[in-house]
């Protein structure tokens, strides 16, 4: 067995030696991540760009070049492709290292002083000189050990896995380009106070750091910053100082929980009527401020703030997040952008932006003509005109999220757009639509991904017919209350959905039946259902196993016609045996014998 492993290792070493220089660097970079860690494609690509591994060449963007490196490593079988989400826009959206390749990568990266992993139990005779420092979750050392182990003056990137320590970022890191704190626990506002001293920083990720409520004013010193990821934090708005970051390309934000929902709009309906009075809201908010200043520990516990917080952190959380949302009744989702956002001409990604209080923000966004990905929340009748005008101006836009919970929601808000961006490939509409915008029919030739949630569409047949005619639609997600009515019947007629590969149905309404006719969705590979079938759709008795005698009573029909189907996944819910059995027998009738999974 050892001889076989040695042979495999020798072959892999030859494969590594045969890699071009740029791919060797990209592969060794993966030594940063822990064993069995799923590395997000987007995170990796943005980091490679920040490190200078990818640059614009012959009209191709640095992102496209970095993506091609990722795919090249997959084609050469140097990394194991995987998916963080079943519903990603790409075939692969993440990767892992094979165990034996990981051993080679770690060994080579240390030989070349490229990556050093600080782990519990590692002992060294001299200080390590490395470009990329990765601090493992199990490392328990102190500041003295940290500074004596690594020559911090040479570190270009630091990635923290586990709990934050204040000494992890030092003034000595003068060459630092990447600060990746994604998922780090215990990080609070005052820990970022001196981040502005990292003048060469290009990538800053605070994703999933729930103790962060405010970005420091010193952020304006990061003139080289390209990527700012604050998804999953409690940051309510961007500071005005961000206007000085003219090289900023990607700003990603979303509220804690990452569900994309705009829940705070409906919050006043859930509190006592007395509290909806503006004077009472103001009084209660000021009381909260007094508690924050006088008894910060009490408010810290009430707001579930983790980490080594001080009085200022608690006051910042109260003043920069809690109080503004109370006083303006603004959504807890999305990010308020400052005036002058249009000056950031390098922006490619912006979202999710809360547009509930400032229509001028949409007029400024319209001037970001290089924008490729945009997310806006709390769209309504008052700002819909500005939104449609902005979308008409963004000719490079490839991805759009528009959301507004409750009623009237998105109803009529997108009708003012006569011609959508030509390159739009991903569209997410979350909110009360009632009917699909007219421009979806025939106006989205490049649309590959569509998600609808809480859209409450009433004409089910017309909507399915329009969606079925989209020439490049590969992923369709119909989520919570996508359709409204006493009975929802979805019929996929023959010849429709010719390019569809993934269909997700997650409580899309009072779903009675989903029928596939012969010739429908010929490329569908994955069907995922989450919900509880209507009682009368599964409760009728059947004679033995001859379920096909009463097909009209079952939720799904025609699964045997789906010639490319690989997998049906039933998620959530307590499915009755006869329902599951019916799906199973239909799949057994399918020549490809697709898998049935219960998740």
Which regions of 207-301 does DSSP assign to beta strands (E)? 227-231, 250-254
- Closest residue by Cα to residue 316 from 375, 428, 379, 237: 237
Contacts of 80 (CB under 8 A, 6+ apart): 95, 96, 97, 98
pLDDT at 255: 52
Residue 310 has pLDDT above 70, yes or no: no
Backbone Cα Rg of the chain: 26
| pLDDT mean over 287-307 | 55
| pLDDT mean over 34-62 | 92
pLDDT at 316: 65
Tokens representing 17? Answer: 């030696």
Question: pLDDT above 90 covers what percent of the chain?
Answer: 66
- Give residue 36's region: left, alpha or beta (phi > 0; psi -120 to 50): left
Q: What would the DSSP string read from start to end of 102-114?
A: HHHHHHHHHHTT-
Give the distance, in angstroms, between the CA of residue 259 and the centroid of all CA atoms in the same chain: 9
pLDDT at 277: 56
Question: pLDDT above 70 covers what percent of the chain?
Answer: 82
Task: Quote the CA–CA distance of 302 and 34 in Å, as a whole number.
Answer: 34
Q: Which residues pair with 488 in a beta bridge?
A: 511
The 3-state DSSP class for residue 200 equals coil
- Closest residue by Cα to residue 133 from 148, 112, 151: 151
pLDDT at 104: 95
**Residue 534 pLDDT class (50, 70, 90 cuts):** low
pLDDT tens digits, residue range 237-257? 899 999 999 999 999 997 544
pLDDT at 7: 85
Residue 426 has pLDDT above 90, yes or no: yes
Tell me the whole-structure pTM to 2 decimals: 0.86
Which one is predicted more confidently, 243 or 326?
A: 243
Which one is predicted more confidently, 599 or 445?
A: 445
Tokens representing 512? Answer: 């009675």
Task: Quote the CA–CA distance of 285 and 297 in Å, as a whole number.
Answer: 17
Residue 485 has pLDDT above 60, yes or no: yes
User: Around Cβ 574, how many Cβ atoms within 10 Å?
Assistant: 5
Q: Which residues pair with 133 in a beta bridge?
A: 116, 158
Cα–Cα distances (Å) from 123 to 139, 169, 170, in that order, read 12, 21, 22
Task: Quote the CA–CA distance of 306 and 183 in Å, as a whole number.
Answer: 13
- Give the DSSP H/E element, type plus range, for residue 512: strand 511-516
**Residue 474 pLDDT class (50, 70, 90 cuts):** very high
Task: Quote the CA–CA distance of 265 and 326 in Å, as a whole number.
Answer: 11
pLDDT tens digits, residue range 265-280? 334 444 444 444 555 5
Residue 20 has pLDDT above 70, yes or no: yes
pLDDT tens digits, residue range 62-121? 999 999 999 999 999 999 998 755 554 566 789 999 999 999 999 999 999 999 999 987
Tally DSSP H helices, then E strands, for the chain. Answer: 15, 23
Q: Which residues pair with 526 in a beta bridge?
A: 502, 567
In the numeric block, the tokens 């290292």 are attached to 97
pLDDT at 311: 63
């Amino acid at each position: 067995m050892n001889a076989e492993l040695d042979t495999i290792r020798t072959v892999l070493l030859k494969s590594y030696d045969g890699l071009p220089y740029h791919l060797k660097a990209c592969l060794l970079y993966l030594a940063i991540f822990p064993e069995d860690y799923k590395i997000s494609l987007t995170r990796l690509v943005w980091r490679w760009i920040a490190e200078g591994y990818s640059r614009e060449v012959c009209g191709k963007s640095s992102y496209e070049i970095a993506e091609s490196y990722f795919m090249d490593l997959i084609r050469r079988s140097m990394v194991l492709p995987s998916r963080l989400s079943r519903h990603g826009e790409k075939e692969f959206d993440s990767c892992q290292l094979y165990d034996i390749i990981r051993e080679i990568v770690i060994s080579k990266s240390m030989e070349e002083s490229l990556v050093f992993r600080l782990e519990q139990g590692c002992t060294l005779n001299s200080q390590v000189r490395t470009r990329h420092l990765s601090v493992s979750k199990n490392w328990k050392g102190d500041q003295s050990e940290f500074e004596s182990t690594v020559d911090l003056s040479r570190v270009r990137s630091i990635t923290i896995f586990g709990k934050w320590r204040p000494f992890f970022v030092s003034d000595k890191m003068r060459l630092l380009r990447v600060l990746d704190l994604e998922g780090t626990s215990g990080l609070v506002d005052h820990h970022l106070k001196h981040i502005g001293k990292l003048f060469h920083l290009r990538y800053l990720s605070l994703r999933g750091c729930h103790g962060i409520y405010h970005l420091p004013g010193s952020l304006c010193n990061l003139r080289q910053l390209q990527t700012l990821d604050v998804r999953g934090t409690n940051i309510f708005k961007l500071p005005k100082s961000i206007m000085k970051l003219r090289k900023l390309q990607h700003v990603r934000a979303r509220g804690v929980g990452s569900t994309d929902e705009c829940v705070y709009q409906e919050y006043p309906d859930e509190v006592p009527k007395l509290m909806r009075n503006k004077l009472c809201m103001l009084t209660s908010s000021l009381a909260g401020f007094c508690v924050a200043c006088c008894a910060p520990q009490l408010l810290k516990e009430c707001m579930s703030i983790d980490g080594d917080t001080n009085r200022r952190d608690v006051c910042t959380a109260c003043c920069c997040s809690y109080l503004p949302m109370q006083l303006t009744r603004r959504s807890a989702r999305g990010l308020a952008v400052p005036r002058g956002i249009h000056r950031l001409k390098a922006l490619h990604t912006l979202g999710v932006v809360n547009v509930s209080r400032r229509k001028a923000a949409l007029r400024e966004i319209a001037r970001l003509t290089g924008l490729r990905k945009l997310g806006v929340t709390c769209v309504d009748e008052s700002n819909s005109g500005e939104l449609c005008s902005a979308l008409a101006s963004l000719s490079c836009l490839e991805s759009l999220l528009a959301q507004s919970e409750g009623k009237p929601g998105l109803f009529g808000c997108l009708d003012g757009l006569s011609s959508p961006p030509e390159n739009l490939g991903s569209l997410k509409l979350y909110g009360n639509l009632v009917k699909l915008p007219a421009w979806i029919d025939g106006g989205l030739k490049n649309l590959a991904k569509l998600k609808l949630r809480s859209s409450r569409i009433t004409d089910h047949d017309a909507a399915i017919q329009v969606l079925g005619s989209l020439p490049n639609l590969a992923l369709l997600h119909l989520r919570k209350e996508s359709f409204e009515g006493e009975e929802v019947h979805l019929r996929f007629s023959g010849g429709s959905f010719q390019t569809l590969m993934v269909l997700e149905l997650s409580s899309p309404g009072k779903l009675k039946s989903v029928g596939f006719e012969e010739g429908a969705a010929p490329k569908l590979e994955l069907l995922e259902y989450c919900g509880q079938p209507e009682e009368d759709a599964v409760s009728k008795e059947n004679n033995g196993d001859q379920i096909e005698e009463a097909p009209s009573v079952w939720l799904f029909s025609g699964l045997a016609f789906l010639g490319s189907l690989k997998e049906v996944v039933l998620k959530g819910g307590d499915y009755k045996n006869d329902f599951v059995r019916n799906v199973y027998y239909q799949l057994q009738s399918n020549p490809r014998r697709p898998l049935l999974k219960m998740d």
